[in-house]
Amino acid sequence: MSRVPDITRRTLLRGMGGIAVGLPPLEIMLRTPLGRAAGGPVAGAPPPRFGLSWAGVALSAGGGGAQEGTTPKTEGLNWEAPRSLKPLADFGVLSDVTVVSGLLIPWADNPPFPAGKGGLVHFNTMGPQLSGTRGGPGPQGTSKSTGPSVDQIVADTIATGTAQRQLAYRMQAYGYVGGNGPQSYRMDRGTLVGLEPISSPRVAYESLFSGFTPPSATPPDPAKTAFLLRQEKSVLDVVADELTTMKGNLGAADKRRLEQHTDQIRQLEMGLDKIQPVGARCKLLPMPGPDPAREAGYAYAGEEERGDVYTDLIAMAFACDMTRIASYMLTHQKCWMGLPPGFPRKYPDIHQMSHEGPVIEFIDAVGYLVKQWGKMIKKLKAIPENDGSTVLDHTLALMVFEAGHGKDSETGGNDSPHSTENMVVLLGGGAKGAIKKGIHYVAKGKHPASVLLTSMKAMGVSQANLGEVTEMIPGILA
Amino acid sequence: MRRFLLALPSVLLACTGTIQDGGVEQSGGMAGDGISGNPARGGAGSTGGSSRPGGGTAPGTSTPGATEPTGGVIAGPARPASMAPVSGLRRLTVREYDNVLKDLLLDPTNPSTGFLPDDQRHPFDNDYKAQDPSQALVQGLSLAAREAVNRLMADIPRRDMVVGCKPAGVTDAACFKSFITKFGRMALRHTLTPEQVTKFTTFSALGTEGADFYLGVRLALRAFLQHGSLVYRAERGTPVGNDPTLFKLQGIEMASRLSFFLWGAGPDNALLTSAEGGELDTAAGVRAAAGRMMKDTRAKDLVTRFHAQWLGYETLVSAGDLLIAQEAETSALMERVLFAERRPWRELFTFGETFVNDVLAKHYSLPLPGNTKGAWVVPTDVRRRGLLGQASFFAIGGSAFGDTSPTQRGKAVRNKLLCQVVPPPPPGVKNDALQNADPKACKDLRYAAHRAGGCAACHGLMDPIGFGLENFNAFGQPRATEKGNPMCKISGDGELLGVGTFNGPAELGKLMSDAGLLEPCLVQQLYRFAVGRTDLDTNDMTLVGSITDGLKDTKATLKIDDLMVDLVSSEPFRHRREEVLQ
C-alpha cells in the first residue's frame, strides 16, 4: 500500500482556486485539501518510531538501604509497580513497559571495562549510557558524549523521508546553573555535533507546524494566504541568501559552522513548502499560548505544562509520520529542576532534596519524572494504527536515569544514589514486536549501553556496536 | 620561567605537598591597603554611604570616575602581532543578542530569553567551540524576532524612533531606504553594501502590495534580526606579510571585538564612525575608544557578569528576596570598588564594607540596616570581608553530602580563584576511610585519613583551606559548631600551603591578595572571556604568561579597566589567526 504523498502548500493554493476557505492557513494545511476524504490512520504499513528520554536523577533496584524497592521486586511478567513507577500503573501502561535493572557503568579506574565513568556520578554517565563512550570535556568541568547517541544512530536508519529528522525537546525550562549540554549527538560533516533541544513550547510548536498565523475567526481568502506565505518566504530568502554571501568570505572552519546554520534555515523553508498527510489523527493542535514563566533561581518554571505540550507534539508527529525520532530530555544532568507544586518548598530543587530530604520524597520526585515520560507512553498507546495496532506497538521509547544505587565511586560510601551500580532503563512499547513488553529483567552487571544497543538492533540498525559497547542483552528480545 | 608558569593553568600533577614551580609567587611587599579605605569617599571603613548598590545611572550612560582608564599597566617586552590568538565564528550569546535588541529596538525585555537555547558555561557563556547551530537556535531566533517586531509595531512612538523617518505614503521609497541604510548599519555592524541595500529595499514592494509601508519595515526588521552578520561575529581581516594564517582586523571588525568584549553588546554609532574613519586601525585609536567605553554603564554590567561566570556564582542556590539581596551585594561591591572608586582589583577580596538589606543582614546575623533597599555597612564579624565573605562565594562548590566539605571548598579556591587544577585521586585510591568514619566524630577527626599516607599530598592543598572557612555554612551564615554536631566547636583555622595561615574569609582574601596570587588567574580568565575559547593552545598560554609577567610591578595597584584597555589595544588583540580546520 502506498503512502499518501506529500502535498506542497503551493499545490494546495493552486488547487483551492476560488473556493471560499474558512480557516487560517495552517488549519487549511492540515485539514483535507483538494477534497480528499478525511479520516483514517496514515496509509501503508505503520512506520517504526524511536524515543529517547533522560533524567538527571537516580532510579535503582537493589543495593539495599532505604531505596530498596524503587523498582520491581519480582522478575518476569506481572511485576507490581513500586512507588517510583506507580504513575505507569495509574496510566494503565505497565504491560507496555519493560524494566531492565541491575545495570552497571564501571568506574574509570577499572580499565578493562569500556565506556566507564570518572569522578562524580553527576555529568559522567550520559556519555557512557547514551553513546557507549567514555566522556570528553564538557561544560563546567563536566563530561559529554564523544560519539553519536543511540537515537541519532537509529535516525540514520529509520528517519528517512519524514518532514523532520527528529524532534528534540527538553522539559526542564532552562539550566538553572547554565546549560550543561544536550543528550543527543550526531555526526555532521565528520564532526560530532550536539543536538540542542528546544526548551520553549512555543518554539516547539512553531518548529513542527511552521505556523505564522494564529487561528482566527476571520476567514482568510486564498489570495491573502498566498500573500502571507510570500512574506514568510521573503524573509527566509533574504536570510539564506545573505548567509551564502557571508560564507564566501570566511575561512574553512567558520564556513562549516555557518553551513550548519544554513541547514536549519533550509529546514524552516521546507516547513513552509511541505504539507503533511492528513487524517483523523492529524489535527492542528491548539497553540500552546505563552510559555510558562521562568524565574531566577531554582523556581519551578511550569515544567509539567511544558512537558504536556511536548508530549502532545510528539504523539501528533508520530501519528502523522512527521517524524520518527523523539529526543525528549526531561532534565539537565544533576537535575536541578525546581520542585513542582505539591512538593515541600523547603528544598530549592529536586537534586538538593535528594541530599537533604527524606528518601520517600525523593522517590516521589523520581516518580514525578517517570510520570511525565509515562504520559507520552499513554498517549501513544491511545492512537490506533490502520491495522488495529497502536502507535505504541510500533514504537520503542527509552527512559534512562543518571544514576542507580549502591557504592559511590567518588566517596567510597555505600547505599548511595550517587552510584553507577544497579542502574535502570525503562523501555516503552514493543518495537514492532522485537522487544518483550511488560517484563522486569535483571541484567546484573551489564552496561546500560547494552540495553540501548539491543534497542538499536530491535529497530533494525545493522551497526554491531554502540560506541565501545558490543554486548547485547538477548533476554529482552522477543 | 617561574612567572611564565604562574599564568598557566597550573596542574598540580604530583601533589607533592608544595605547589609546583612558580605556582606561588611570594610578594609580601606588595600588600594591598585592604580594608583601610577612604571614608571621605565613602570608602572602606565608612559606615555611611549610599543606600543604593550602584551608581544608578541609566544603561548606556557613563559614570563619572576620579580618573579614566588609560591602560599602560602591562609592561615588559613587546607582544607582536604574530602572537594573535586563533579566532573563529562566534555566535552572540543569549545575553548579547538581547542586549543588541535592546539597543536596536529600544526593547529592554530580553526578547530572546526563553526562546533561544541556554548557552553552555565553560565557565563563560561565550565559548564558540560549544556553539552548535541547531533547530532550537534557528527556530528560536525566528520566533524571537517576530515577537520583538510585533511588539515594536504596536508601540507607535518607539516604532517611529526605530524607523527614523515618517513616510509620506505607502510607497515612500526615500524613507524606506533611509531606514534600511541606517538601521542596517547598526544591526549588521557595518555600512550596508549597495547589494544589501537593494536586497532589503525589496521588502518595500511587499509593503506596497499590502498597502502598508510598515509591512515592508516589519519584514525587513525580521530579516535583519536573523541575519548572519547580526547573529554571528565573523572576523576575516586583511592578510599580514607572508603568513597565510595571520590577519589584521579591519576597523569595523575591531569595533565589534571591542564592543562585545567591553560591553557585551554591539557597537554604538560613535564606535562605528570611529571605525569607518580609520581610528581603530591604530593601537592609540583603539586605546582611546576602549577608555571611553569602559566608562559606560554597560562595561560595569559586563565586568560584573564576567566575575559571576568566572567564579561560578552567576546562579545562586537560593530563591526570592534572599537571592536578590545576594546578587545586589556582589554587584554593589563590583560597582563600587572597580568603577565608582576605581580601586585596585584585588580589593574585591579585602574591601571592608558590604552592601546588605534587612533580609541579607538577618541571614548573616548582622545588625539590620533598617532598609529594604540596602545600605553599606562594616560587618561586625571581622571575618566577613570582601567577595569571599559573601554568600555568593560560599554558594560555589563548597558543599557536599549535606554539609560543607573542606575538600570541595579548598578545591574550589584552588580551581576558581587560583586557576589551579588539583588532580582526582589516582586509580585504586579508596575513600572509604572518610565515609566509614564515625559520623558523630568532629569533622577534623573524620578528615584525619586525608592527612595520612598517599592522600596527604593532594588533600594538604585543599582541606586546610576549607577548614579555614568552616565557620560559615554553605549559604554564608556564620556558625560556631558543626552541623549536626553541636559538641564540635569550629576553630576556623586554615592554611594556604606554602603561603601562610589564616582564619576565615577575610584573612584568606588578604593572604592571597598580598601574595599576588589572584591576578594571574584574572588575566587567564579575562583572556578566555575575550577570545571566547576555554581551551588555550600553546600560543595562548605564552601570551597569557607574557601579560602576567608584564604586571609584575603593577599588580598591587592594577585596575580592571586599565587591564582591559591594555588587552584590547595590544597588537595580538588587533589581529587574528585563522583557525585550522580539524
Q: Transcribe A19-34 into DSSP letters.
A: ----S-HHHHHHS-GG
Say if the Cβ atoms of B219 and A355 lie within 8 Å. Answer: no
Q: Do A210 and A224 fall within a single domain?
A: no
Q: What are phi and psi of A303, to 5 degrees?
A: -60, -40
A65 contacts chain B (CB < 8 A): no
- List chain B residues with CB under 8 Å of A180: 120-121
Which domain covers residue B174, as residue numbers? 90-233
- Could you tell me the three cell numbers for A191? 564532526
A53 contacts chain B (CB < 8 A): no
Q: Do A176 and A312 fall within a single domain?
A: yes
The residue out of A251, A280, A309 marking a domain boundary is A280
Strands A440-442 and A97-103: parallel
B119 contacts chain A (CB < 8 A): yes
Structure confidence by residue, pLDDT tens digits, A409-437? 766 667 778 888 899 999 999 899 999 99
Q: What's the pLDDT at A117?
A: 76
Q: B238 to chain A: nearest residue by CA?
A: A249
Q: Give the residue-averaged pLDDT of B505-523.
A: 97
The answer to whether position A43 is within a domain reads no
> Is the predicted pLDDT of residue B276 greater than 70, yes or no?
yes
Say if the Cβ atoms of B113 and A348 lie within 8 Å. Answer: no
- Percent of chain B at pLDDT exceeding 90: 70
The answer to whether position B216 is within a domain reads yes
Residues 292-321 (B) with a CB less than 8 A from some CB of A:
312, 314-320
- List chain A residues with CB under 8 Å of B401: 355, 411
As a whole number of angstroms, the distance between CA A33 and CA A277 comes to: 10
Say if the Cβ atoms of B89 and A411 lie within 8 Å. Answer: no
**How large is the angle between the packed helices B283-293 and B560-569, nearest 10 degrees?**
150
Which run of H or of E encompasses A315? helix A303-319
Say if the Cβ atoms of B323 and A198 lie within 8 Å. Answer: no
Question: Is residue B534 classed as helix, strand or coil in its secondary structure?
Answer: coil
Candidates A177, A243, A294; nearest CB to B315: A177
Q: What's the pLDDT at A71?
A: 80
Say if the Cβ atoms of B140 and A200 lie within 8 Å. Answer: yes
Say if the Cβ atoms of A203 and B402 lie within 8 Å. Answer: no
CA of A84 vs chain B CAs: smallest distance (Å): 23
Q: Transcribe A174-209 into DSSP letters.
A: S-BTBB---S-EEEETTEEEE-PPB--HHHHHHHHH
Cα–Cα–Cα angle for A296, A300, A301, nearest 5°? Answer: 75
> Is the predicted pLDDT of residue B60 greater than 50, yes or no?
no
Q: Give the residue-averaged pLDDT of B93-120.
A: 95
Say if the Cβ atoms of B118 and A234 lie within 8 Å. Answer: no
Q: How many CB pairs under 8 A join A and B?
A: 214
- List chain A residues with CB under 8 Å of B234: 246, 249-250, 254
CA of B131 vs chain A CAs: smallest distance (Å): 9
pLDDT-based confidence at B141, cuts 50/70/90? very high
**How large is the angle between the packed helices B251-262 and B269-276, nearest 10 degrees?**
150
CA of B402 vs chain A CAs: smallest distance (Å): 6
Q: What's the pLDDT at B17?
A: 43
Q: Do A194 and A249 fall within a single domain?
A: no
Amino acid identity, residue B407?
T
Q: Which of A315, A432, A431, A433 is nearest to A377 (CA)?
A: A315
Extract the runs of DSSP E, i.e. beta strands, from B452-550: 481-482, 485-489, 493-496, 500-503
Say if the Cβ atoms of B234 and A198 lie within 8 Å. Answer: no
As a whole number of angstroms, the distance between CA A440 and CA A430 comes to: 14
* Burial status of residue A158 (CB atoms within 10 A of its CB: 0-12, 13-18, 19 or more): middle
The per-residue b/e assignment along B79-97, b for 16 or more CB within 10 angstroms, e otherwise, is bebebbbbbbbbbbbbbbb
- Could you tell me the three cell numbers for B530? 575575550
Candidates B134, B222, B226; nearest CB to A196: B134
Candidates B199, B319, B578; nearest CB to A348: B319
Q: What's the pLDDT at A279?
A: 56
Question: Is residue B191 classed as helix, strand or coil in its secondary structure?
Answer: coil
- Return mean pLDDT, chain B: 86
As a whole number of angstroms, the distance between CA A319 and CA A47 comes to: 9
- Could you tell me the three cell numbers for B49? 554611604
CA of A238 vs chain B CAs: smallest distance (Å): 7
Q: Do A228 and A246 fall within a single domain?
A: yes
Say if the Cβ atoms of A253 and B89 lie within 8 Å. Answer: yes
A474 contacts chain B (CB < 8 A): no
Candidates B117, B138, B581; nearest CB to A264: B138
CA of A86 vs chain B CAs: smallest distance (Å): 28
Candidates B89, B223, B578; nearest CB to A258: B89
Which residues are bridge partners to B482 per DSSP? B485
Structurally, chain A folds into a number of domains equal to 2
Cβ atoms of B235 and B255 closer than 8 Å: no
pLDDT-based confidence at B319, cuts 50/70/90? low
Say if the Cβ atoms of B142 and A355 lie within 8 Å. Answer: no
B153 contacts chain A (CB < 8 A): no
pLDDT-based confidence at B541, cuts 50/70/90? very high
Q: Do A146 and A57 fall within a single domain?
A: yes
Q: Give the residue-averaged pLDDT of B311-332.
A: 81
Say if the Cβ atoms of A168 and B138 lie within 8 Å. Answer: no
Cβ atoms of B252 and B275 closer than 8 Å: yes
Candidates A180, A235, A252; nearest CB to B581: A252
B322 contacts chain A (CB < 8 A): no
- Could you tell me the three cell numbers for B243? 603568513
Q: What's the pLDDT at A411?
A: 64
Contacts of B184 (CB under 8 A, 6+ apart): B192, B196, B197, B200, B224
Residues 56-115 (B) with a CB less than 8 A from some CB of A:
88-89, 113-115
Which residues are bridge partners to B533 per DSSP? none
Q: Do A259 and A349 fall within a single domain?
A: no
The answer to whether position A130 is within a domain reads yes
Candidates A138, A195, A253; nearest CB to B134: A195
Say if the Cβ atoms of B206 and A291 lie within 8 Å. Answer: no
As a whole number of angstroms, the distance between CA A61 and CA B263 comes to: 52
- Is pLDDT larger for residue B496 or for residue A253? B496
Ranges of residues in chain A with a pLDDT under 50 are 1-41, 61-64, 110-112, 211-215, 275-277
- List chain B residues with CB under 8 Å of A268: 138-139, 142
Q: What's the pLDDT at B25?
A: 28
Structure confidence by residue, pLDDT tens digits, B34-51? 222 232 233 333 333 333
The per-residue b/e assignment along B368-389, b for 16 or more CB within 10 angstroms, e otherwise, is ebeeeebbbbbbebebbbbbbb
Q: What are phi and psi of B119, to 5 degrees?
A: -75, 140
Q: Do A123 and A254 fall within a single domain?
A: no
Q: B308 to chain A: nearest residue by CA?
A: A177
A299 contacts chain B (CB < 8 A): yes
Q: What's the pLDDT at A19?
A: 29
Q: Do A265 and A321 fall within a single domain?
A: no
Q: Do A353 and A414 fall within a single domain?
A: yes
From residue B501, alpha-carbon distances to A336, B26, B346 in Å are: 36, 14, 19
As a whole number of angstroms, the distance between CA B476 and CA B384 comes to: 9
Structure confidence by residue, pLDDT tens digits, B410-455? 999 999 999 998 887 765 565 555 655 677 788 888 888 888 888 8
Q: Do A71 and A194 fall within a single domain?
A: yes
Say if the Cβ atoms of A238 and B200 lie within 8 Å. Answer: yes
Q: Which of B386, B382, B313, B307 is nearest to B348 (CA)?
A: B386
Cβ atoms of A164 and A323 closer than 8 Å: yes
Q: Do A127 and A205 fall within a single domain?
A: yes
Task: Cis check for the bond before B123: say yes or no (omega within 30 of 0).
Answer: yes
- List chain A residues with CB under 8 Å of B206: 230-231, 234
B283 contacts chain A (CB < 8 A): no
B142 contacts chain A (CB < 8 A): yes
Q: Could you tell me if the ipTM is greater than 0.95? A: no
Q: Which of B363, B357, B359 is nearest to B381 (CA)?
A: B363
Q: What's the pLDDT at B401?
A: 54
Residues 419-448 (B) with a CB less than 8 A from some CB of A:
424, 426-436
As a whole number of angstroms, the distance between CA A197 and CA B392 comes to: 30
User: Cβ of A387: how many Cβ atoms within 10 Å?
Assistant: 11
The answer to whether position B452 is within a domain reads no
Q: Which of B170, B178, B162 is nearest to B214 (CA)?
A: B170
CATH of the domain at A76: 3.40.720.10
The answer to whether position B181 is within a domain reads yes
Which domain covers residue A427, as residue numbers? 48-215+284-476
- List chain A residues with CB under 8 Å of B426: 109
Structurally, chain B folds into a number of domains equal to 1
From residue B244, alpha-carbon distances to A255, B233, B234, B537, B578 in Å are: 17, 21, 18, 19, 8
Say if the Cβ atoms of B118 and A199 lie within 8 Å. Answer: yes
Extract the runs of DSSP E, i.e. beta strands, from B76-120: 86-87, 90-91
B143 contacts chain A (CB < 8 A): yes
Say if the Cβ atoms of B219 and A234 lie within 8 Å. Answer: yes
Q: What's the pLDDT at A32?
A: 26
A10 contacts chain B (CB < 8 A): no
Which run of H or of E encompasses A363? helix A359-381
A2 contacts chain B (CB < 8 A): no
CA of B187 vs chain A CAs: smallest distance (Å): 13
- Could you tell me the three cell numbers for A175? 539550566
- Is pLDDT larger for residue B362 or for residue A349? B362
B206 contacts chain A (CB < 8 A): yes
As a whole number of angstroms, the distance between CA A214 and CA A287 comes to: 8
Q: Transcribe A437-476 into DSSP letters.
A: -S-EEE-TT--HHHHHHHHHHHTT-----BTTB----GGG
Q: Do A398 and A366 fall within a single domain?
A: yes
From residue A449, alpha-carbon distances to A299, A325, A366, A452, B6 in Å are: 33, 18, 21, 5, 42
